[in-house]
Structure 1
Amino acid sequence: MCNPIKDSNSRGLTAGSGVDKAASTPRSSRWDSQRIRGFLYLFSSKLNQLTSNLVLCFLIPFLMVLIGRFVIFSDIPTPQPLIEDEFSYLLAGDTFASFRMTNPMHAFWEHFESIHLIVKPSYMSKYPPMQGLILALGQLVFGSPWVAVVISMAIFCGLLPWVFRAWTTVNWAMLGALLATYKIGIVSYWTDSYWGGGAAAIGGALVLGSVKRLVEKSTSGMLAIFSLGSCILANSRPFEGLVFLLGCAGYVLAQWHGRYKEKLPLLAKNMRVSLLVIIIPTLLLMGLYNDRVTGNLTELPYTEYDKQYSIWTPFVWQQVPDNEPIYRHDFIRRAAVEWDGGIKQASRHYPMTVFLNDFIRNFQFYFGDSFYFILLFLVLFLIGDGTNLMRSIFFKQPNRAAMGILLFYCLISCLILDVVPHYTAPAAALIYLAMTMALRTMSEYSYKKTEVGKIFCLTLSLFFIVSTASLMSSNENRFLFPKKHFLEKRNRVLSLLNSQPGQLLVFVHQGKLNDPNDIWVYNQANIDASKIVWANDMTPEKNQGLIDYYGNKRTVWHLNDDAKLTLAPYGNAKAKTLISMANAP
C-alpha cells in the first residue's frame, strides 16, 4: 500500500525529497507530474549553488530581515513602546547607554514606583540585562534602540542555516531558515517591539547548532560557541534557558553513553579556554551587576522586584499567595493582586484550558494559520495510512533527538503559568528545526505511487507564504496586545506636553476605572534631566515636596486617567482642562 520512507544523508534537497530519483510514474497521474518533478529539480539545483557558501547562507536571511523591514518602514514606522515590559527594558537600555549598571535611588523614589522596575535600593529594570544591552547598542550607535532590535532578529535568522546544517541537509537547512525568517524575522512583535525575543533566540541557536557538532567532536571552538550561547541565555531568559540547556545536555549524555571515559576527559581539556575567556568573566559580571542593582551578589533584580511587589510566583507549585506587601499606589496593587493574580489562579484552576490556549497562541506565532493546515494533514494521514510517516517524523534519527529535546522543553515549560511566545525564545531555532525535519520527512512520503508528500509540502509552503503575507502588517502579527486606545491617549498627551516650553513635571492619578496595564509613570535613566518627569500623584504634602525639590525649574501638570482622561495645570481648580477624552469601556 505505502512505500517506505526513504532515508538519505546526501547533500541536497533532491536527496531529501527524492526528486532526483528516476522512478517512473503512470502518465495518467495528474499529481505526480513531470512539471512538479522538474520544478523541484530546478529549484534544488539553484539552491545547491546558494548553500555551498556558509557566509552567503548567513547573509541571505540576515539581509532579508534588514531589507524587508526597512522597505516597509514607511507603512510600519518605528514602534512606540506601550507595554510595561517595554518601558522597563528601555530604562535598562538608557542606563547602559549612559555607561552605568544602574541608577541611584531617587530622593523621592515613592513618586516613581511602577510596574516591572525597582526604585530601591537602586533605580533599574527588573529584567536580565541582555535585552537592555541590545537596546543600548542601538541607542549609542544608531540613535534608535529599535534598530538594534531588528539587527538582533537578523542575526538570529542568519544563524539558522548554520544551526540546521548540523541536523539536516544543507538545502533543507536553507529552506527552513527562509521560512522562519519570513514568518517572524521581518515583521512580528519580536521585531516590532522592545520586549525582546531575539537575544534569547540567538543564545538558543548557538547552543543548538554547537551541541550536535559537540557530540561528534568536542573542539575548543564549538565549546566556545556553546558557552557563549549559554551565557546569552543566562542573561536573557534564565529559567527557560536552563531548561533548554538541560535538554541539550541530556541529548549529549545519551549519545555518549558507553564512551564517557573517552569523551569527558577531552571535553574537560578543551573547555579550559571557554571557562577562562567566557564563562568565568560572565559569572563575575553577573554577580557585580546583581550587587550594584540589588546590593546582593546572588539576588537577581527580578527576585528583588517580586519580594517588594508580587504575591504570586510564575511557577505552578505555589498554591497560596504570599502576604500582600505595602502598596503605596493602587494601580500597582491592582496589577499585582487582581490582574496578575487572576491569571495565576485561572491557570491553576483550569490548567488544561490555559495549556491549550498557550499552545495555540505560541504555535500560531511560529506558524500562523499553517498550524491548522498541518494539524488537518496529520489527522488525515493518521486516519489513512500514516503510521510509517509518523514513525519517521518522530522516531528516525536525528529527528528523534530534536523532537525529544523539544518535548522535554515543552513539558518543563508547563511549570510556568501563562507562557507567551517570547518565553519560548530559547527554543525558537529548535521549533523551526522540528518543522524543517517534519517537512523533509513528509516530502519523501508516497501513497499508491503518488508522491503525496511533495504535493503537500508545495501546497503548505504556498499557503504559508500567502497567509503570512496577508497578515504581516496586521495587529495580530505585530503586537501581542495591540492597546490601540492607550496608543491614542498617549500620543495625544505627549503631543501637547512636548509642545510646551521648558521642563515639565506631570503628576499622574490612575483611578480604579483605568486599565491597570495602561501605565504612564516611566522615566529615563536620569530622571532629573528629562524634559518630562512622570510622577505618581500622592498626598498634597508629598506632591509639594517633589515640586519644591525641582524649585521653579518645571511647570507642573496633573493627568487624571480614570473614567475619562483629563490633563490640566496642577493646583489650579479654575485652570482650563486641555485634554478630556473618554476611556475605552
Structure 2
Amino acid sequence: MYYGLLFGAGVAILANSRPYEGLLLSLPAVAMLLVWMLSKRGPRPRIFATQIAVPLFIVLALTGTAMGFYNLRITGNVFRMPYQVYAETYDIAPKFIWQSLRPEPIYHHQVLHDISHGVDLTLYKLERSVVGFVTKNVAYVSWWMFYSLNVFLIPLIARCSITFHWAWHNRWGSFALLTYGVLVCGLLVEIPMMIHYAAPITGINYLFVLQAMRLWNWHNASRNVKQLMLWLVLLLGAVVAIGLLYVRTNFDDASVWYKRRAAVRDQLMKAEGKHLIIVSYGLGHLVHEEWVHNGASIDDAKVIWARDMNDQNCKLVEYFKQRRI
C-alpha cells in the first residue's frame, strides 16, 4: 500500500507542477507497472488491487477532484485549465511544432502585445525548417545539460560509453534511459523550452552522474589517480554550491525591480485605506519585469495594480473611486 500511495503522490505533484512533462515522465512508469503486473513474476490480482491499484486510485481521484474543482471555479469548465484560457486569450505562437499560429487578438496594452510577439513567436518561425529545429534544440539541450549538471558533467563525459552500456544492459538502468528518452523527445516538440520544463527529470540526471562516478575506470592509471579525480568532481561541486549560496545571501540589490515593487506594496499595506497603483512603463521596459499582478479577489484587495490605459484611466478611477490613486 505504501508504494501505491507514494506513486499516486508523485503523479499528483507532477500533474500540478508540470502537467505535460509530468505525463511524459509517468507514461514509462505506468507501462512498466502494467508489464510487471501481467508477467509471471507479477503479484496476484487481489494483492495488486489492495496494495497498489486501490491506494493509487484513491490518491488520483482526490487529486483529480481538487484540480477539477479549481478549474471549475476559475474557468467554468472542469477540464479547462487557467493557463489554457490565458494562452487562448493572448498568445499567437502555439505550444507545439505541429500547431498553427493563432489569430492575433486585440491588445489593450503594449506590454501584452510585446510578450506575445517575443521569444515564442521567434522560436516558432525558426522551427519551421529542419535546420532551425535542429539548431534550436541542440542549443537548448546543451545549455540545459550544462546549467543543470554543471561540474557533474565531467564524470558523464568521461565515462559516457560505459555508463550507456550499463544502462542498456541493466533493467533499472534501461527503465531510467527509456524515461529520459521519452521526456527529452517530448521536450523537443515544444516551442518554448525553459530549464524548469525538465525539472521532473532531475533525479534521473543524478542517477546517471552517480553511476558514471561508480563506473569510473581510468585505464593505465593508479588507484590514487582515480580517487583524486572523483574527489575533485565532488570538491568542485561543493565550491560551486557554496559560491552560489554566498552570492544569493550577500549581494542583495534593493534596486531590482521586484524588490522595488515589494517595497511599494509593503509601504501601502501599512498605510490607511485602500489603494490603486497605475503603472506606466518606459521605452526601455523589459516585458518579463511585470509589475501588474493581483490576487484573485481584486475588489477586496488593499492594494491593486493596474496598467496605464491613457484615455481609459477615467473609467478605471471611477470604478475604484473609493481608493487612493
TM range (shorter): 0.7 to 0.9
Match of 2:189 in 1: 415
1:436 aligns with 2:216: no
Match of 1:206 in 2: none
Q: 2-side partners of 1:498 and 1:288: how far apart?
A: 31
Match of 1:351 in 2: 133
What is the DSSP-based 3-state SS (H/G/I as helix, E as strand, rest coil) of the residue aligned with 1:554? Answer: coil
Contact kept, 8 Å, 1:244 with 1:426, in 2: the verdict is yes
Contact kept, 8 Å, 2:68 with 2:79, in 1: the verdict is yes
Amino acid at match of 2:138: L
| 1:158-202 CA-partner distances (Å, limit 9, x unpaired) | xxxxxxxxxxxxxxxxxxxxxxxxxxxxxxxxxxxxxxxxxxxxx
Length-normalised TM-score, structure 1 = 0.48
Alignment counterpart, residue 120 of structure 2, candidates 330, 333, 340: 340
Match of 2:3 in 1: 222
Match of 2:323 in 1: 554
Deviation at 1:454, TM superposition (A): 3.4
Deviation at 1:256, TM superposition (A): 6.0
Contact kept, 8 Å, 2:156 with 2:208, in 1: the verdict is no
Deviation at 1:500, TM superposition (A): 6.4
Match of 1:65 in 2: none
Amino acid at match of 1:357: A
Length-normalised TM-score, structure 2 = 0.82
Deviation at 1:244, TM superposition (A): 0.3
1:450 aligns with 2:222: yes
| 1:85-134 CA-partner distances (Å, limit 9, x unpaired) | xxxxxxxxxxxxxxxxxxxxxxxxxxxxxxxxxxxxxxxxxxxxxxxxxx
Alignment counterpart, residue 368 of structure 1, candidates 147, 150, 153: 150
Amino acid at match of 2:276: L
Q: 2-side partners of 1:432 and 1:421: how far apart?
A: 16
Question: CA 1:464/1:299 → structure 2, altered by over 3 Å: closer, same or farther?
Answer: same
Contact kept, 8 Å, 1:508 with 1:534, in 2: the verdict is yes
Contact kept, 8 Å, 1:393 with 1:437, in 2: the verdict is no
Alignment counterpart, residue 518 of structure 1, candidates 269, 285, 289: 289
Q: 2-side partners of 1:487 and 1:283: how far apart?
A: 34
Deviation at 1:332, TM superposition (A): 0.8
Matches within 5 A, 1:470-485: 470-474=243-247
Looking at CA atoms only, which structure, 1 or 2, has the larger radius of gyration? 1
Q: 2-side partners of 1:528 and 1:328: how far apart?
A: 21
Question: CA 1:304/1:526 → structure 2, altered by over 3 Å: closer, same or farther?
Answer: closer
Q: Which structure 2 residue ranges, 5 or more long, are not aligned?
A: none
Alignment counterpart, residue 331 of structure 1, candidates 105, 108, 111: 111
Deviation at 1:295, TM superposition (A): 0.7
Deviation at 1:292, TM superposition (A): 1.1
Question: CA 1:453/1:279 → structure 2, altered by over 3 Å: closer, same or farther?
Answer: same
Matches within 5 A, 1:284-323: 284-318=65-99, 320-323=100-103
Question: CA 1:267/1:316 → structure 2, altered by over 3 Å: closer, same or farther?
Answer: farther
Amino acid at match of 1:249: V
Q: 2-side partners of 1:363 and 1:550: how far apart?
A: 49
Q: 1-side partners of 2:57 and 2:151: how far apart?
A: 46
Deviation at 1:342, TM superposition (A): 2.2
Q: 1-side partners of 2:5 and 2:272: how far apart?
A: 53
Deviation at 1:273, TM superposition (A): 3.0
Q: 2-side partners of 1:374 and 1:271: how far apart?
A: 37
Question: CA 1:361/1:418 → structure 2, altered by over 3 Å: closer, same or farther?
Answer: farther
What is the DSSP-based 3-state SS (H/G/I as helix, E as strand, rest coil) of the residue aligned with 1:555? Answer: coil
Deviation at 1:246, TM superposition (A): 0.7
| 1:500-546 CA-partner distances (Å, limit 9, x unpaired) | 66432222233554222222211233323434321122253x42233
Q: 2-side partners of 1:484 and 1:247: how far apart?
A: 46
Q: 2-side partners of 1:236 and 1:252: how far apart?
A: 23
Alignment counterpart, residue 528 of structure 1, candidates 295, 299, 305: 299
| 1:37-76 CA-partner distances (Å, limit 9, x unpaired) | xxxxxxxxxxxxxxxxxxxxxxxxxxxxxxxxxxxxxxxx
Contact kept, 8 Å, 1:331 with 1:512, in 2: the verdict is no
Deviation at 1:338, TM superposition (A): 3.2
Q: Which has the higher helix share?
A: 2
Q: 2-side partners of 1:405 and 1:281: how far apart?
A: 26
Over the residues paired in the alignment, what is the CA RMSD in angstroms? Answer: 3.3
Deviation at 1:491, TM superposition (A): 6.1
Amino acid at match of 1:307: E
What is the DSSP-based 3-state SS (H/G/I as helix, E as strand, rest coil) of the residue aligned with 2:13? Answer: helix
Q: Which structure 1 residue ranges, 5 or more long, are not aligned?
A: 1-219, 380-386, 557-585
What is the DSSP-based 3-state SS (H/G/I as helix, E as strand, rest coil) of the residue aligned with 1:507? Answer: strand
Q: 2-side partners of 1:524 and 1:369: how far apart?
A: 40
Alignment counterpart, residue 55 of structure 2, candidates 265, 274, 281: 274
Alignment counterpart, residue 165 of structure 2, candidates 386, 391, 408: 391
What is the DSSP-based 3-state SS (H/G/I as helix, E as strand, rest coil) of the residue aligned with 2:192? Answer: coil
Deviation at 1:323, TM superposition (A): 0.5
1:237 aligns with 2:42: no
Matches within 5 A, 1:194-233: 220-233=1-14
Q: 2-side partners of 1:546 and 1:341: how far apart?
A: 32
| 1:337-371 CA-partner distances (Å, limit 9, x unpaired) | 23432243335552233223322332234322342
Q: 2-side partners of 1:233 and 1:397: how far apart?
A: 24
